[in-house]
Chain A
């Protein structure tokens, strides 16, 4: 029987020090929807759990210089109930809405969804497409990296010992921008993505795409930013040839596994189909966002 210690500091520096000085296995506790299951099923036996929910920096949704900053421990429901954020980033909210049941979203956080590092995490492709930056605090100071650089493989992140994701910084959201996230699951609800696609676009006044980011989930060991897929849309009005190029680029980027929820061939095919649909939804939203 291992001995577990629980700490819930209210200062970020104390949380970092506790994690940096821990000699054995330690875990950050935010929503706990993954970590607590792992502890209760003895998948992990940490000696230290640091609950970060009492640290104010991690809890709020704020606008800074015209752009959103979302604390890493903000729950899914808090985000879904934030009208201004939902209006600015409907695609990110699409992803968050798909993280488990309403009960799960009462606790689950985007920081946890990212750090649990499942290749199928629903908010992650949407965050990558959004161009969100994570602000990290650690024993060697603060740093900022793009969301796509955090997952390092299934269940692994690029965070160093003692580092904590504090918040997600989103870019400003000018008119004629829109994002969307779609996923394929065998069931309607309460399932894990077989493929997930996030698309974020900007249009000029004539409706021509000037910027596009496309990210895929569940088709590789980590969520992928697919630059070729974004490039396929830029300069187009998201017409049929551009959507064909998008679908081809998305499918070409897939390196999926074969498992009971989807074969390799199926995932590759669906990645192209979903990329197309997500792009059209992002287009519709960008046209409405004036």
Chain B
């Protein structure tokens, strides 16, 4: 019988507790224990970025962190990005400029893009492309994603 571990973590500002097995990942816990299914599983090996979340301010792949490691941590997921009905400018620009098709990569890309704009409000197209190199999209060919991020950045700068 594998021992279960008790974890208490803050997710998008709310306190959560769950029990997990040691080999479960944070991605498993978010989706299967907390039912926060906005974070997607793509490759499960850290290559595609679909499960990008923030843990204590660090941008990581939730598939590459054990669920048990999250004890005492502050986690931010896509569910925390909109303020109620008000979409984040990134979310709105992705919708308006068709920055998504199937949508599996979108939550991870939105999280990653938000971190970029927090660090650099006025990135070049090249900087956006390099920053998002760890977020794979198999639908859009990336152009609309990059345009959506740049449009959101302009809007957020008030330019």
Using CB atoms and an 8 Å cutoff, list the residues of chain A in contact with chain B.
Answer: 1, 3-6, 8, 29, 31-33, 36-37, 39-41, 49, 51, 53, 75, 77, 100-104, 106-107, 188-190
Contact = CB atoms under 8 A, between A and B. Distances in A.
Nearest to B130: A189
Interface string B11-52: 000000000011101000000000000000000111101001
A32 B23 CA distance: 12
Given A5-B3, A5-B22, A41 B45 contact: yes
Main secondary structure of the interface of B (DSSP, over half): mixed
Contact of B134 (A5, A8, A40, A102): A102
A75 B49 contact: no
Interface string B38-78: 00000011110100100100111101111011000000000
A200 B46 CA distance: 32
Contact of A33 (B2, B64, B131): B64
A33 B60 CA distance: 10
A53 B68 CA distance: 13
Interface in B71-108: none
B149 interface: no
A6 B22 contact: yes
B131 A37 contact: no
B133 interface: yes
Given A104-B64, A189-B130, 13 more contacts: A4-B2, A5-B3, A29-B69, A32-B69, A36-B66, A39-B23, A41-B45, A77-B59, A101-B133, A102-B115, A103-B52, A188-B133, A190-B133
Contact of B46 (A3, A39, A104, A188): A104
Contacts of B68: 6
A100 B130 CA distance: 11
Which 4 A-B residue pairings sit nearest by Cβ, starting from the closest?
A: A101-B134, A189-B133, A106-B58, A6-B22
Nearest to B61: A103
